[in-house]
Chains A and B, each alone.
Chain A
Amino acid sequence: MRHRAGLAALLGPPMLWLVVVYLGALAVIFATAFWTTDPFTNLVLRTFTLENFRELLTPTYLGIIGRTLLIAVLVTVLCMVIAIPFAFFMARVAPRRYRGLLLAAVLVPLWASYLVKAYAWRTMLQPEGVIDSTFGATPGFGLTAVVLTLTYLWLPYMVLPVYAAFERLPESHLEASADLGGRPWTTFRRVVLPSLLPAVAAGSVFTFSLSLGDYIAVQIIGGKLQVLGTAVLQNITLDLPFAAALGTASVVIMVLYLLAVRRTGALENL
């Protein structure tokens, strides 16, 4: 009996936190999404309506959701394309004594403030900035800038799990593949990639979800770009229930994404 009481005391506070603060907040968002506001004072009126969700399905907001998804997908794909060769180099090619150094190089940007990095990109992308003076042109502020910046910001979250997966990959598997006549590309495709997939999926949970919800970088380097996060921000002051409906949309997308990722077995890898 004492054993159980101890366990309850140990798990109680974190469970309470999780249920009340975390899930409770989500529940409140969802409930708020069914309310409406007074058109003049913008006060929240607690009358039930589905209007907010109907509004969400108009071309304007489907456009925003689609654009946000596109950014999240592009950032995730770019992170994969950069992270896989880089992690391979770190774990398999570079001499062991440099590994710690390379790992530190990946992690160091995480120590700098998010805002500093976003503003650094703003300075680089502006007319006559570093990119303009080096390449003779700059993409300016907008979708390209946002994808570039977010890829830079979230890259470490993709590199780390992929690096760990490369580290774990037993040398004997590669040797066995070579012994059985597998060429390097075949070995990569049939042996390395399948064992990498869960790690990539795990990394993509970070890159995808962080890109989906980001609104600060978008405000700084997005120009006139409007995404889910900025739309929530804009509506928070004017139409809270609608902002909540928009928030629900991103939660639903994330839940669907996590369910899909779970099928790859990646969540055991986090």
Chain B
Amino acid sequence: MRTSKKSLRGTVGTVAAVAVLALAGCGSSTPTTPGGSAAPGGMQVPDLKALDKLGTPEGQVNVLAWPGYVEDGSNDPKVDWVSDFEKSSGCTVNVKTFGTSDEAVQLMRTGQYDTVSASGDATLRLIAAGDVEPVNTSLIPNYADIFDALKMKPWNSVNGVAYGIPHGRGANLLMYRTDLVKPAPDSWAAVFDQVGAQKGKVTAYDSPIYIADAALYLMTAKPELGIKDPYALDEKQLAAAVDLLKAQKANISEYWSDYLKEVQAFKNGSTTIGTTWQVIANVAQGEKAPVEAVLPKEGATGWSDTWMVGAKSKNKTCAYKFIDHIVSPKVNAQIAEYFGEAPANKKACAETADPNHCKVFHAEDEAYFSKVRYWNTPITACLDGRTDVKCTDYATWTKAWTEIRNS
């Protein structure tokens, strides 16, 4: 939607946008189960084959990425890990960024993108809908150096078939204005039930997945609810999270999904505290905003991202070459430092400008990442293994989120 905003306006704009997407929706609404196989959770997987060998580069690759993942120098001339690749591979890289996983799923569904950096709450949806295909890891030489702890995980493989290449992982942090928020917060309570003087200046991520942040806080704040996994909430637990978020709404200044808007809100002080990504804190600090980002004591939600290949892609050779480039030690190190996350490539740790980067971001520290709850898609079968109750699925979360936003 972002690029078309400038031309869309008013009723006509909204109507036209709905119409275009309605048409797009018609085109891509394939049946979910064309003779595929079943995966855990009752998921049906379409029968798609991975590429068996690389051809000649097609000349371009259309990339769908989180902001900060594929920098081509247009934001900052010094931050560019695309131009060299374009010269050496003969593949022009066209990047489109997205603000939420839901947006990524919708854009990927148009079939216009060859590869996507998908988080765990998008990967399975893309796989089940047949939007992405298995990946032949032997065609990605750098796959050998990826941390074993990230390979063949429930969010990037199904029935022992790899569907993507790990990119990196990190946590959603708590950002605050150092000059306005005192004392420095160390708990998510600062955005939920102990907002204090920051009333009306809190921000939250505008996506149903943010419900997990409330659930994560409730794991320590209200242990009697018995939440073990913030993505496996039964109806009672979801209701508690929704109540917490409805109460939080009174303290919110704005919800964000556009990262540049969050940077601006923190800069001008209309927002002083709220959830963020490290890259947003870095950009804001780069623009001289007095902000700091911390990992609160309750732990945090986070992400472990995967590069996937579009099933309808016409540029698969370029897509494979691009993915191999992006997880190569040097580039993976640059991205990890720029975005503020742990790299996926073991050898990247030797390439970072800050020799301690991998240590600071706990690249090899599995105990640390056990506290970070990666984004995942909630389904009716409880992800924490409970069988005596039914959990709430993402559709329910979506409805709940709309209810919160309009309470």
Q: 1/0 per position for A198-238, CB-CB distance to B under 8 A?
A: 00000000000111111110001001101011011111111
- Least CB distance from B147 to A in Å reads 29
Q: Interface size class for chain B?
A: 35 or more
Is B58 an interface position by the 8 A CB rule? no
Docked Cα-Cα span, A233 to B20, in Å, equals 13
Contacts of B377 in A (CB 8 A): 40
Q: Which of A38, A128, A233 has the most CB of B within 10 A?
A: A38
Docked Cα-Cα span, A231 to B22, in Å, equals 15
Is B367 an interface position by the 8 A CB rule? no
Is A140 an interface position by the 8 A CB rule? yes
- CB-based contact B26/A32 at 8 Å: yes
Partner of A247, one of B10, B15, B26: B15
Interface positions, chain B 78-130, Cβ under 8 Å from A, are 100, 102-103, 105-106, 109, 124-125, 128-129
- Least CB distance from B198 to A in Å reads 13
Docked Cα-Cα span, A46 to B208, in Å, equals 25
B166-174, B281-289, B301-309, B399-407: which lies at the A interface?
B399-407
- CB-based contact A237/B32 at 8 Å: no
Docked Cα-Cα span, A213 to B17, in Å, equals 11
Contacts of A228 in B (CB 8 A): 14
- CB-based contact B32/A38 at 8 Å: yes
- CB-based contact A41/B32 at 8 Å: yes
Contacts of B277 in A (CB 8 A): none
Docked Cα-Cα span, A244 to B29, in Å, equals 15
Docked Cα-Cα span, A114 to B406, in Å, equals 26
- Least CB distance from B168 to A in Å reads 24
- CB-based contact B398/A60 at 8 Å: no
Contacts of B14 in A (CB 8 A): 213-215, 228-229, 232, 247, 250
Report whether over half of chain A's contact residues are helix, strand or loop; otherwise say mixed. helix
Interface positions, chain A 32-75, Cβ under 8 Å from B, are 32, 37-46, 60-61, 63-64
Is B30 an interface position by the 8 A CB rule? yes
Is B23 an interface position by the 8 A CB rule? yes
Partner of A114, one of B1, B9, B20, B21: B9
Task: Given A40-B379, A210-B10, decide whether A126 and B22 contact each other with a Cβ distance below 8 A.
Answer: no
Contacts of B17 in A (CB 8 A): 232-233, 236
Is B197 an interface position by the 8 A CB rule? no
- Least CB distance from A165 to B in Å reads 23
Partner of B405, one of A32, A41, A44, A226: A226
Is B6 an interface position by the 8 A CB rule? yes
- Least CB distance from A35 to B in Å reads 8
Task: Given A224-B249, A237-B105, A243-B18, decide whether A44 and B29 contact each other with a Cβ distance below 8 A.
Answer: yes
- CB-based contact A141/B270 at 8 Å: yes
Contacts of B149 in A (CB 8 A): none
Docked Cα-Cα span, A43 to B124, in Å, equals 13
- Least CB distance from B327 to A in Å reads 27
- CB-based contact B406/A64 at 8 Å: yes
- CB-based contact A238/B9 at 8 Å: no
Is A26 an interface position by the 8 A CB rule? yes
Interface positions, chain A 175-212, Cβ under 8 Å from B, are 209-212
Task: Given A41-B32, A60-B402, A226-B405, decide whether A28 and B26 contact each other with a Cβ distance below 8 A.
Answer: yes
Q: 1/0 per position for A6-31, CB-CB distance to B under 8 A?
A: 00000000000000000001101100
Partner of A126, one of B252, B255, B268: B268
Docked Cα-Cα span, A265 to B305, in Å, equals 59
- CB-based contact B270/A127 at 8 Å: yes
Contacts of A129 in B (CB 8 A): 268
Is B13 an interface position by the 8 A CB rule? yes
- CB-based contact A40/B43 at 8 Å: yes
- CB-based contact B9/A240 at 8 Å: no
Contacts of A236 in B (CB 8 A): 1, 17-18, 21, 106
Partner of A232, one of B9, B18, B28: B18
Docked Cα-Cα span, A245 to B20, in Å, equals 15
- CB-based contact B402/A46 at 8 Å: no
- Least CB distance from A125 to B in Å reads 9
Interface positions, chain A 69-108, Cβ under 8 Å from B, are none
- CB-based contact B254/A223 at 8 Å: yes
Contacts of B8 in A (CB 8 A): 216
- CB-based contact A42/B125 at 8 Å: yes
Contacts of A209 in B (CB 8 A): 10-11
Task: Given A39-B395, A114-B9, decide whether A251 and B15 contact each other with a Cβ distance below 8 A.
Answer: yes
- A sample of 27 inter-chain contacts (CB < 8 A) reads A25-B16, A25-B23, A28-B19, A40-B393, A40-B394, A41-B125, A42-B102, A42-B106, A44-B28, A45-B29, A113-B6, A126-B269, A140-B200, A209-B11, A213-B11, A213-B14, A215-B14, A223-B252, A224-B255, A226-B406, A231-B402, A232-B14, A232-B17, A233-B1, A236-B17, A236-B21, A238-B208
A26-B15, A41-B32, A247-B18 known, 13 other contacts, Cβ within 8 Å: A25-B15, A29-B18, A40-B124, A43-B29, A46-B29, A126-B269, A127-B268, A128-B268, A213-B15, A231-B406, A240-B21, A240-B25, A244-B18
Interface positions of B (Cβ within 8 A of A): 1, 5-6, 8-23, 25-26, 28-30, 32, 43, 100, 102-103, 105-106, 109, 124-125, 128-129, 200, 208, 249, 252-255, 261, 268-270, 377, 379, 393-396, 398, 402-403, 405-406
